[in-house]
């Protein structure tokens, strides 16, 4: 069974940093692109970032470009999201999810992890 388990969420002050992790199991992690999607309280889904299977290419939403860094360690079956210069508007539940393909393209996301809550507040 494919499983994704996020960790690392919490409460931080504006301007601070946080790193999320997503531990994957049940599939050949190194064969698939992975993504982060967030959901602010009471709002819809917002795509954040995607990384291809070998980590060589990354993609970011305009709202986080230059502040967030996606990475992966295929030897540990783990996806990361380094979030720097956090703002109040980054407050959300952050989900990791698996793409059905190795690279970028017309892909969907399935399955999703249970989500990691991040709160940015002073």
Least distance in Å: CB of 90 to another protein?
17
Token digits for 14?
A: 């504006």
- Told to check if 46 binds another protein by CB under 8 A, we report yes
Q: What is the DSSP annotation of 48-111?
A: EEEE-TTSS-EEE-TTTTTTEEEEEETTTTEEEEEE-S--GGG-EEEEEEE-SSSSSSS----S
Q: Which of 62, 66, 75, 122 binds another protein (CB under 8 A)?
A: 62
- Told to check if 56 binds another protein by CB under 8 A, we report no
Nearest Cα to Cα of residue 93 among 116, 67, 62, 111? 116
- Told to check if 47 binds another protein by CB under 8 A, we report yes
Least distance in Å: CB of 116 to another protein?
11
Least distance in Å: CB of 115 to another protein?
6
Site string for another protein, 83-112 (x = CB under 8 A): ------------x----x---xxxxxxxxx
Least distance in Å: CB of 66 to another protein?
15
Whole-number Å distance between alpha carbons of 103 and 32: 7
Whole-number Å distance between alpha carbons of 116 and 57: 24
Q: Which residues bind another protein (CB under 8 A)?
A: 35, 37, 44-47, 50, 59, 61-62, 95, 100, 104-115
């Amino acid at each position: 069974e494919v499983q994704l388990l996020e960790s690392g969420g919490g409460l931080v002050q504006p301007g601070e940093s946080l790193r999320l992790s997503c531990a994957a199991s049940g599939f050949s992690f190194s064969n698939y692109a992975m993504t982060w999607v967030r959901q602010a309280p009471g709002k819809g889904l917002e795509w954040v970032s995607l990384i291809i299977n070998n980590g060589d290419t990354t993609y970011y939403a305009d709202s986080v470009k230059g502040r967030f860094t996606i990475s992966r360690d295929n030897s540990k079956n783990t996806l990361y999201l380094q979030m720097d210069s956090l703002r109040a508007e980054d407050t959300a539940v952050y989900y990791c999810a698996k793409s059905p393909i190795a690279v970028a393209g017309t892909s969907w996301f399935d399955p999703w992890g249970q989500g990691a809550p991040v709160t940015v507040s002073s």
